[in-house]
C-alpha cells in the first residue's frame, strides 16, 4: 500500500506544482498589466489551492504509512533521510499555510491590484518554499 500512495503523491505533485506555477504567473501578469481581477483569475488560484491541499493530504498518508515511521528522527545526520522525514514535510506545510493565507486575504480585498499582489506574494513564497524542499533525486 505504501508504494501505491507514494507514487500517487509523486504523480499528483506534478499537477499541483503546475497549477501553482500557473497561479503565480497569472497573478504576476495581472499585477504588472493592471488588468481587472476576474472569475477566471479566482478559479485559477482556487484550483491551485485545492490541488496543493490534496497533495498535503496525500503526503500525510505517505508520512504515516511509511515503513520508516518515526524512527527516522533518530538519524538526523543522514541528509537524505532528514530531507524526507523532517525538512520536506515541515517546509511544505509552511508553504501551504502561506498559500492558504493568501487565499483567505484575497477575499477581504476589493481592488484588483491588491488581489493580484496578495496572490503574487503568498502563492509565490509558498511555491519557492515547496520547490526548495522537493527531494529532486527521487523525482528523476
The string of pLDDT tens digits covering residues 6-35 is: 999 999 999 999 999 999 999 999 999 999
Contact 49, 99 (CB under 8 A): yes
Residue 53 burial (CB count, 10 A): 15
The predicted model scores a pTM of 0.91
Phi then psi for residue 110, to 5 deg, are -110, -35
- Render pLDDT for 79-119 as a digit per residue (tens, 0 to 9): 777 888 888 999 999 999 999 999 999 999 999 999 999 99
Amino acid at each position: 500500500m505504501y508504494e501505491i500512495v507514494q507514487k500517487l503523491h509523486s504523480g499528483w505533485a506534478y499537477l499541483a506544482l503546475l497549477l501553482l506555477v500557473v497561479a503565480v504567473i497569472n497573478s504576476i501578469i495581472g499585477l504588472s498589466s493592471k488588468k481587472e481581477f476576474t472569475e477566471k483569475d479566482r478559479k485559477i488560484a482556487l484550483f491551485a489551492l485545492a490541488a496543493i491541499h490534496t497533495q498535503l493530504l496525500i503526503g500525510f498518508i505517505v508520512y504515516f504509512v511509511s515503513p520508516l515511521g518515526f524512527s527516522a528522527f533518530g538519524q538526523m545526520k543522514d541528509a537524505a533521510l532528514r530531507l524526507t522525514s523532517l525538512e520536506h514535510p515541515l517546509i511544505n506545510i509552511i508553504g501551504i499555510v502561506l498559500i492558504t493565507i493568501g487565499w483567505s486575504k484575497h477575499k477581504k480585498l476589493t481592488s484588483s491590484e491588491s488581489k493580484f499582489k496578495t496572490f503574487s506574494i503568498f502563492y509565490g513564497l509558498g511555491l519557492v518554499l515547496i520547490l526548495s524542499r522537493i527531494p529532486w533525486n527521487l523525482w528523476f
